[in-house]
Structures are given as structure tokens and as C-alpha cells.
Amino acid sequence: MRFIQTIKNIWTIEELRKRILVTLLLVLVYRLGCYVVLPGINPAHLLALEKFTESSGLMQLLNMFSGGAFSNASIFALGIMPYITASIVIQLLGMVLPSFQKMQREGESGHQKLTQYTRYLTVVILCVQGPAYLINLQHQLNGAGQPMTMGFWTGAYLTIILAAGSMFIMWLGERITDRGIGNGISFIIMVGIIARLPQAFLYEIQSRLPGTSSGQGGLVMFVVEIVLLFAVTCGAVLLVQGTRKVPVQYAKRIVGNRQYGGARQYIPLKVNAAGVMPIIFAQAIMFIPLTLAGFSASGSGFFATFSDVNGFWYNFVYFLLIVAFTYFYTAITVRPTQIAENLKHNNGFIPGVKPGKKTAEYLDSIMSRITFPGSIFLGIVAILPAFARMFGVSQNFAQFFGGTSLLILVGVVLDTLTQIESHLMTHHYDGLMKEGKIKGRTTGSAY
């Protein structure tokens, strides 16, 4: 009954109702666009591209993030990934270039400049990825006996369509952020991932039915898989929400006849401040052997070892890279020196720790201690799909047992529920939970 009452409360709030309806409408537009095939492409000939996508780890990842548009040769085939790549590059430049650091400190005007640079860089990336996608599409169709010729002007024309499709997705994400329930780009990614879940779910059920060639364990095994998936999801929620609160005491200030400050607050230091970025960086490196293996005639050796995504050495190195990148990304995003300076300027201090350098060293030691278990847990979550495949879980369904897809789903869902709960609390309604409070990602991004 409480759930039904909560739905009624959500529908009662006019602003929240409009935001949800706008979000659903924009998501519907996005999903329809994923099935609009590029001009000149016969949809009946796309089976070869789908088989190639399912056999390639990198292509399967891109297809998952695009909600199947990649294998459909859709106008949205390149998805939102070029924008994400550009955002990551701009973010990294802001950590090493003084000019970008200055724009980050300029507030809203600096943020607008960085957003504009991100869009320009997205167009550049699209002009590279568009022709690459078309060349791969032509190669796969010709290899499957479906001849496809593409001249220069045809390629340029289709590249413009692909670039326009990705920019339109970016625009949809911004509209969801402004007029919807927020986190538009992240929400678009989540929709693309969830779109693949029903098909993977049904395929897994069929594969477990008695009488099928791959059926092992029957429906009992499928129930076990669902229970394990639920347990892994709960672990991912703890990983996203986990924080270490550092108490901060603010000194009293007397201005005129009024007294300010003196209250005690907390600095929430996240166990996983890096989000899914370590997994993305590690995947980018591990895809290099997979790519080079295609040019190697040898079926054994280094390339063959690191081309087996289910092999021990691939997942071991993958795990170590995630741990290393977690420390690296946490070090460049969480800056204890800057936090210590901000506390000092605002007359704040950590009880028992001297302000300034000692505070920075104290915060750095805490981050080092909590980042270690966070990095280990993140590495375990990343390699869980390999263990799932070892126990007979299908390739598509195994992706939801961990890795980037699970963490993005958990993070975006928590953020969305936090947005809805804030609207309910603002209008003096009960929140989504009877006790406690939903905590989204206070730092970082979905990707």
C-alpha cells in the first residue's frame, strides 16, 4: 500500500509529473531513433553485422551503450560514447593545463566554455569514428555476400547523418537534464543498457529450459543466477554509496552583534571516488591486444593469451589495472591540499588535527586507506562477468553480473531516486523509503 501511495504522491506534484512525462517522451524518441536504419542500407542484410558485434568484445560494449543501435546500422549507431570520450578528455585537460583549471574556477561562465569545447571535440571525434564505422559496415556486409559499394560522397553523406544523430542524442540528454528528472546523459546510457536486458533475460531462460542443446541445470540454475545477480547488485549499491565521514568543526565568528559558525559538519570521503572511470581506462588498454590479435597470424602466444576474455591472465591483468587506475584517478580528482585550504579559509578544522599541511596529510592518509578496499571491490565487480561465463551464463546476460554496465545502472537509478525523493520531501510528502535516506553519487559521474 505504501508503494501505491508513493506513486499517487508523485503524480500529485505537478512539476514532478511534468518532468517524468517529458523524460519518458524524450526516451521514446531516442528508442525510436535506434531503429531508423541509415539510408541505402538494407535491414535484411544486417545479420552479418550483428554476428560480428556479438563476437567482438569492444563492439559488444559499444552496442550495449547504444542500446542496439550499433548493430542495427541506425542513425544513432555511434551513440553517446563520442560525447563521453570528449568529456573525459576535457576533464583530464582540466587537471594538467592551467588555462582549463582557470575556467573550472570561473563558475558558470567557465562551465559554459568547457561545455562548448566538449561539443567541438565531440564533432571532431565523430568525424573520425563515422568513416571508421562505415568502413567496418561495408567490410562485414561484403564478407557476408551482401555487396555494398560506398563512394567518397556517399561516405561523407552518411558520416554527417551519424554525426547529427549523436549530436541529437546529446541534445536529448541536455533536455532531460533541464526539463526532465536530471542526469540526462547518464540516463540515456542507462536506457541503452536496460534495452538489452529483456532480450538477454529471455535468451538465458530459453537456454536453461530442458531439451535445449545448451541447457544445464534447468530453471533451478536460472533461479540461482537471479539470486547471485541480486547479491552482486546489492554489493554494487554499497560500493556506490560507501563513504567515510570526517568530522569538521567550524570556529565561531562574530560579525557585528551576530555570531556565525560553531557548527559541526562532515566531509563525506567516498570509498569509490573514481566511479567507473578505472574500468573504462582498463578496458581501453585491454582492448589493444584484442585489436592487434586480428592482425596476428599466430593462434598462440601473447596475443592469443590476452585475447581470451575468459582466461586467467587477461582477467588478472585487468584486475591489477583497475586497482592501479583507481588510485590514479582518485589522486587527481580528490585533492586533500585543496580541501585543507578551503577549510582553513572558512575557519574550519578537523578536531585534533592542525589546519593546513597536517590536515592535508590526514585526509590523504584516510583516502589511501579507504581507496584500497574500494579498488579491490571494484576490480572484483569488473571481472565477475568472466566468472559468470565460466559457469555457463550466456555472453549477453553475463554482462549484467558486473563491470561498467552494472555500476552505471546502479549509480543512475540511485541518482534518479534521489531526485524524486527530493521533490517529495520539498512538498512535505514521505520519501521513497520508510526509514533512512537514498544516497546517490555525491561525486563523480556515471561514466
DSSP 252-266: PEEETTEEE---EEE
Tell me the three state secondary structure of residue 401. Answer: helix
C-alpha radius of gyration, the chain, whole number: 24
Q: Mention every residue, 6+ apart, whose C-beta is less than 8 A from residue 32.
A: none
Residue 446 resides in a domain = no
Q: According to the model, what pLDDT value does residue 445 have?
A: 47
* CA dihedral over 84, 177, 397, 29, signed as positive or negative: negative
Instruction: Tell me: do 313 and 256 sit in the same domain.
Output: yes
Q: What is the pTM of this model?
A: 0.75
Residue 285 sits in a domain of what CATH number?
1.10.3370.10
Instruction: Tell me: do 167 and 98 sit in the same domain.
Output: yes
Q: According to the model, what pLDDT value does residue 53 have?
A: 58
C-alpha cell at 344: 582553513
* CA dihedral over 387, 390, 392, 398, signed as positive or negative: positive
Per-residue buried b or exposed e for 75-102, using 16+ beta carbons within 10 Å of the residue's own CB:
bbbbbbbbbbbbbbebbebbeeeeebee
Distances in whole angstroms, Cα of residue 384 to Cα of each of 167, 223, 280, 283, 401: 34, 18, 15, 14, 6
pLDDT at residue 201 greater than cutoff 70: yes
Alpha carbon 278 to its chain centroid, in Å, reads 11
Instruction: Tell me: do 41 and 102 sit in the same domain.
Output: yes
Instruction: Tell me: do 234 and 298 sit in the same domain.
Output: yes
- Residue whose cell numbers read 561525486: 443
Q: According to the model, what pLDDT value does residue 164 have?
A: 93
Return mean pLDDT, the chain. 78
Q: According to the model, what pLDDT value does residue 54 have?
A: 58
Q: How many CA atoms, within 13 angstroms, populate the side-chain half-sphere of residue 39?
A: 10
Q: According to the model, what pLDDT value does residue 222 have?
A: 79
Instruction: Tell me: do 133 and 243 sit in the same domain.
Output: no
Instruction: Tell me: do 95 and 231 sit in the same domain.
Output: no
Percentage of the residues of the chain whose pLDDT score is greater than 90: 7
Residue 9 resides in a domain = no
C-alpha cell at 259: 555570531
Q: According to the model, what pLDDT value does residue 444 have?
A: 45
pLDDT at residue 291 greater than cutoff 60: no
Give 208 or 268, the one with higher predicted confidence: 268
Instruction: Tell me: do 242 and 165 sit in the same domain.
Output: no
C-alpha cell at 174: 541536455
Number of domains making up the chain: 2
pLDDT digits (tens, 9 = 90+) for 249-277: 776 655 555 555 556 788 888 888 877 77
At CA 374, angle to CA 368 and CA 380, rounded to 5? 140
* Mean pLDDT score, 158-186: 88
Domain that residue 29 falls in = 16-180
- CB-CB contact of 379 with 327 (8 Å): no
Q: Mention every residue, 6+ apart, whose C-beta is less than 8 A from residue 191.
A: 27, 30, 31, 67
Instruction: Tell me: do 265 and 166 sit in the same domain.
Output: no
Distances in whole angstroms, Cα of residue 81 to Cα of each of 58, 63, 190, 419: 12, 10, 12, 24
Instruction: Tell me: do 112 and 157 sit in the same domain.
Output: yes
Residue 187 resides in a domain = no
* Mean pLDDT score, 381-410: 80
C-alpha cell at 130: 563515422
Instruction: Tell me: do 143 and 247 sit in the same domain.
Output: no
How far is the C-alpha of 32 from the C-alpha of 38, rounded, in Å? 13
